[in-house]
Amino acid sequence: MLFVSIFTSDRKLDPELWATIWQGNPPPSLNLIGAYNMSNDKRVYIWEAESVLDIQFMDRFNEIGVMETSPAFDRTVGWRMAFNKELDAFEEWFSSGRNRSGNSSDNNQYEIDSAIDLRRRGMQAPNRHAARLEAAKWREEQQQS
Protein backbone atom coordinates (compact mmCIF):
# COMPACT_ATOMS: atom_id res chain seq x y z
CA MET A 1 0.00 0.00 0.00
CA LEU A 2 1.19 3.51 -0.81
CA PHE A 3 1.50 6.07 2.00
CA VAL A 4 2.30 9.77 2.21
CA SER A 5 3.72 11.10 5.47
CA ILE A 6 4.28 14.67 6.54
CA PHE A 7 6.91 14.88 9.25
CA THR A 8 7.26 18.01 11.38
CA SER A 9 10.24 18.47 13.68
CA ASP A 10 12.51 21.18 14.95
CA ARG A 11 15.57 21.16 12.66
CA LYS A 12 17.75 21.50 15.76
CA LEU A 13 16.78 17.88 16.47
CA ASP A 14 18.17 16.61 13.15
CA PRO A 15 21.12 14.84 14.85
CA GLU A 16 18.66 12.80 16.94
CA LEU A 17 16.56 12.13 13.83
CA TRP A 18 19.53 10.87 11.82
CA ALA A 19 20.84 8.72 14.68
CA THR A 20 17.40 7.16 15.15
CA ILE A 21 16.82 6.41 11.47
CA TRP A 22 20.33 5.05 10.90
CA GLN A 23 19.98 2.69 13.87
CA GLY A 24 18.72 -0.73 12.81
CA ASN A 25 17.53 -1.94 9.45
CA PRO A 26 14.15 -1.30 7.90
CA PRO A 27 12.14 -4.33 6.86
CA PRO A 28 13.00 -5.39 3.30
CA SER A 29 9.42 -4.76 2.19
CA LEU A 30 9.57 -1.04 3.08
CA ASN A 31 10.09 0.96 -0.11
CA LEU A 32 10.93 4.66 0.16
CA ILE A 33 9.78 6.23 -3.11
CA GLY A 34 10.56 9.85 -2.33
CA ALA A 35 11.68 12.16 0.48
CA TYR A 36 11.33 15.93 0.20
CA ASN A 37 12.53 18.64 2.57
CA MET A 38 10.22 21.64 2.59
CA SER A 39 11.49 25.16 3.27
CA ASN A 40 10.23 24.98 6.85
CA ASP A 41 10.25 22.30 9.56
CA LYS A 42 8.33 19.81 7.41
CA ARG A 43 9.43 16.89 5.32
CA VAL A 44 7.29 14.74 3.03
CA TYR A 45 7.86 11.01 2.54
CA ILE A 46 6.20 8.83 -0.08
CA TRP A 47 6.57 5.16 0.69
CA GLU A 48 5.12 1.71 0.23
CA ALA A 49 4.44 -0.76 3.00
CA GLU A 50 3.42 -4.39 2.97
CA SER A 51 3.40 -5.16 6.67
CA VAL A 52 2.94 -3.78 10.15
CA LEU A 53 6.74 -3.94 10.57
CA ASP A 54 7.10 -1.36 7.78
CA ILE A 55 4.69 0.98 9.52
CA GLN A 56 6.39 0.44 12.87
CA PHE A 57 9.75 1.36 11.35
CA MET A 58 8.32 4.63 9.99
CA ASP A 59 6.79 5.29 13.41
CA ARG A 60 10.33 5.96 14.65
CA PHE A 61 9.94 9.49 13.34
CA ASN A 62 7.40 10.14 16.10
CA GLU A 63 10.23 9.81 18.63
CA ILE A 64 11.69 13.07 17.29
CA GLY A 65 8.68 15.00 15.97
CA VAL A 66 5.20 14.38 14.62
CA MET A 67 4.63 12.09 11.64
CA GLU A 68 1.18 12.35 10.03
CA THR A 69 0.59 9.46 7.64
CA SER A 70 -2.25 8.64 5.28
CA PRO A 71 -2.77 5.94 2.69
CA ALA A 72 -2.53 7.41 -0.80
CA PHE A 73 -4.26 6.37 -4.00
CA ASP A 74 -2.50 7.11 -7.27
CA ARG A 75 -4.75 9.18 -9.49
CA THR A 76 -1.94 10.66 -11.59
CA VAL A 77 -3.37 9.48 -14.91
CA GLY A 78 -6.65 11.34 -14.43
CA TRP A 79 -4.93 14.47 -13.12
CA ARG A 80 -2.54 14.53 -16.08
CA MET A 81 -5.49 14.33 -18.44
CA ALA A 82 -7.09 17.27 -16.61
CA PHE A 83 -3.90 19.37 -16.72
CA ASN A 84 -3.51 18.58 -20.44
CA LYS A 85 -7.22 19.08 -21.22
CA GLU A 86 -7.50 15.58 -22.76
CA LEU A 87 -11.25 15.17 -22.40
CA ASP A 88 -11.59 12.44 -25.06
CA ALA A 89 -8.79 10.42 -23.46
CA PHE A 90 -10.39 10.95 -20.04
CA GLU A 91 -13.74 9.71 -21.34
CA GLU A 92 -12.13 6.60 -22.81
CA TRP A 93 -10.18 5.94 -19.59
CA PHE A 94 -13.21 6.56 -17.36
CA SER A 95 -15.46 4.44 -19.59
CA SER A 96 -13.00 1.56 -19.45
CA GLY A 97 -13.61 1.29 -15.70
CA ARG A 98 -9.85 1.22 -15.04
CA ASN A 99 -9.95 4.53 -13.18
CA ARG A 100 -9.77 3.10 -9.67
CA SER A 101 -6.54 1.38 -8.62
CA GLY A 102 -6.32 -0.43 -11.93
CA ASN A 103 -9.36 -2.55 -11.18
CA SER A 104 -12.36 -2.69 -13.45
CA SER A 105 -15.48 -1.04 -12.14
CA ASP A 106 -19.02 -0.83 -13.38
CA ASN A 107 -19.40 2.79 -14.48
CA ASN A 108 -22.83 3.00 -16.02
CA GLN A 109 -23.41 5.26 -19.01
CA TYR A 110 -25.16 7.90 -16.88
CA GLU A 111 -22.12 8.18 -14.58
CA ILE A 112 -19.79 8.41 -17.56
CA ASP A 113 -21.87 11.05 -19.35
CA SER A 114 -22.28 13.02 -16.13
CA ALA A 115 -18.54 12.99 -15.39
CA ILE A 116 -17.73 14.16 -18.92
CA ASP A 117 -20.43 16.83 -18.80
CA LEU A 118 -18.96 18.36 -15.64
CA ARG A 119 -15.46 18.47 -17.10
CA ARG A 120 -16.65 19.85 -20.44
CA ARG A 121 -18.54 22.65 -18.66
CA GLY A 122 -15.40 23.57 -16.77
CA MET A 123 -13.29 23.58 -19.93
CA GLN A 124 -15.77 25.68 -21.89
CA ALA A 125 -16.38 28.25 -19.16
CA PRO A 126 -14.83 31.66 -19.92
CA ASN A 127 -13.12 31.91 -16.50
CA ARG A 128 -12.68 30.10 -13.17
CA HIS A 129 -15.64 31.87 -11.55
CA ALA A 130 -17.94 30.79 -14.37
CA ALA A 131 -16.52 27.26 -14.14
CA ARG A 132 -17.44 27.08 -10.44
CA LEU A 133 -20.95 28.34 -11.24
CA GLU A 134 -21.27 25.59 -13.84
CA ALA A 135 -20.14 23.05 -11.23
CA ALA A 136 -22.81 24.29 -8.80
CA LYS A 137 -25.45 24.06 -11.53
CA TRP A 138 -24.20 20.57 -12.44
CA ARG A 139 -24.41 19.48 -8.75
CA GLU A 140 -28.05 20.70 -8.55
CA GLU A 141 -28.92 18.77 -11.69
CA GLN A 142 -27.34 15.63 -10.23
CA GLN A 143 -29.41 15.93 -7.07
CA GLN A 144 -32.60 16.24 -9.12
CA SER A 145 -31.84 13.14 -11.20
Which domain-ending residue is among 31, 56, 71? 71
In the 8-state DSSP scheme, what is residue 52?
H
- Same domain for 59 and 9, yes or no, is yes
Which domain-ending residue is among 71, 97, 116? 71
The total of other beta-carbon atoms located within 10 Å of residue 133's CB is: 13
pLDDT value at residue 121? 96
Domain span at residue 42? 2-71
- Same domain for 63 and 25, yes or no, is yes
pLDDT value at residue 145? 81
User: How many domains does one find in the chain?
Assistant: 2
- One digit per residue, the tens of pLDDT, for the chain of length 145 reads 999 999 999 999 999 999 999 999 999 999 999 999 999 999 999 999 999 999 999 999 999 999 999 999 999 999 999 999 999 999 999 888 766 544 445 568 899 999 999 999 999 999 999 999 999 999 999 999 8
